[in-house]
Amino acid sequence: MADFYVKDAAKHRHKLRQLKPDLAKAFSDFSDAVFKDGALDSKTKNLIALAVGHVTQCPWCIDGHTRAAKRLGASDEQIAEAVFVAMEMRAGAAFTHSAIAMAATEDHSD
């Protein structure tokens, strides 16, 4: 996978894990537990994470969770649909937050 923001990102993440191995392991264990089959299966959880990755605009999340979802049997159509859910959530949030701007136009007279 490409380094999206910093050169040698993997090297820098390795440094972080070396500096705080106990916290890095705790995070890794938490992540593993979250993505295990439960009330939602792992494929569904990865599709959710793929959509969230688009909303938070995390290229590593998008790449990793797309690959995981595919490995777990997600179809290209399911992945595309998850992306469209993310698109709607971003656009929907912009639309609903427009009420703040519209309210401000009434609160400030020139």
Check which CATH number belongs to the domain holding 91 and give it: 1.20.1290.10
pLDDT on residue 2: 56
Question: Nearest to residue 45, comparing CAs of 65, 73, 75, 25?
Answer: 65
pLDDT of residue 107: 77
Task: Count the domains in the chain.
Answer: 2
Same-domain check for residues 43 and 91: yes
Indicate whether 33 and 62 sit together in one domain: no
Per-residue tens of pLDDT for the chain, all 110 residues: 555 677 888 899 999 999 999 999 999 999 999 999 999 999 999 999 999 999 999 999 999 999 999 999 999 999 999 999 999 999 999 999 999 999 999 977 65
64 and 108 both lie in a single domain: yes
Same domain, 61 and 109: yes
For residue 25, what pLDDT is reported?
98
Domain that holds residue 64: 38-110
CB-CB contact of 84 with 55 (8 Å)? no
Quote the CA–CA distance of 46 and 105 in Å, as a whole number: 41
Residue 109 confidence (pLDDT) = 61
